[in-house]
Structures are given as structure tokens and as C-alpha cells.
Amino acid sequence: MSLDALYQQIILDHSKLRHGEGLASEPAPVGASCGESHQLNPTCGDEITVRLAVVDGRISQLRWDGDGCSISMASASVLTDLAEGIDTEELRQLIETFREMLRSRGTITADPEVLGDAAAFEGVARYVARVKCAMLSWVAAEDALGQATA
């Protein structure tokens, strides 16, 4: 299986089996500092609401509700897997690394050691119209993180 095919499969799997989806299904942990952000991509109609909970400087929970294309929904699912359990500064750096890769228009190769399954979105960088789709949940998480740590 080629790397491109593997990356496509990761995106398809996450768009179907969405990790972290369901704000109402699991309340925020008691005592957590929380932030919540709703983001909309008016170009294609994707939208997402992300709630992020921080306990002792670590992301204890990321939950979301959204509606949109497979790229935006898969990206939110991958973000959930990567964010939970890491400290807030690691999440900020992860978001920035993901943003740089997507904005590179394909000139920056994703490092799976750093980005994990988010490296699967490397090919999206070549399609400017799809970058916002992949970034939507990450922008929401960044905003929610700012609220939770303010």
C-alpha cells in the first residue's frame, strides 16, 4: 500500500468512526477549566463546536459536534486522539506544526513522529480550498484552549 493510499484510508476511517464526537454524550470532567468554540467555514458550510477541558495543565478531554465534509470531520477525530493527555504547550505547538504543514502548499513534508495520524492531511495542503476544512477543528481547539487557560 502506498503512503498516499494509507493516508487516504486514515482520513476515511476517521470520518466514519469519529473519535471525540458528542458534546452531550460526555460532560466535562469535574473541576476542569473548560473552553468552547464554534467555528464555521462559510466557503463549504463545514461547522464545528469544540469543548476542551484542562486539568493540571493537561488536556483531559476534547469533545466536539460538527457537520461537514470527510476532511473536516476526520481532522476533528484525529485531533481528539492527539490532544487528550498532552500538556497545553504541547497542544499549542502541535496546532502550529499542523498549520505550517497545511499552509505550505505541499512544500513541508509531514513528520508522522510529530503529527501522528494528522500527517495524513499532508496531501490536503496542495488543495488550498480544502485547507480550511482540515484546520477548522484545530482553530476551534486553539480558541477553546485560550479560554480554558486564560
Give, in order, the Cα–Cα distances in Å from 25 to each of 21, 47, 51, 149. Answer: 8, 19, 12, 24
> What pTM was estimated for this model as a whole?
0.94
| Structure confidence at residue 24 (pLDDT) | 86
What is residue 111's three-state secondary structure? coil
- Provide the domain limits for residue 97: 3-148
Count of domains for the chain: 1
Per-residue pLDDT, averaged over 16-32, amounts to 91
Picking from 58, 116, 117, 114, the residue whose alpha carbon sits closest to that of residue 89 is 58
**By CB neighbour count within 10 A (0-12 exposed, 13-18 middle, 19+ buried), where does 136 fall?**
buried
Provide the β-strand partners of residue 41.
46
The Cα diameter of the chain in Å comes to 45
Give the model confidence (pLDDT) of 44-89 as tens digits.
899 999 999 999 999 999 999 999 999 999 999 999 999 999 999 9
C-alpha distances out from residue 15 to 12, 40, 91, 146, Å = 5, 18, 22, 26
CATH number at residue 114: 3.90.1010.10
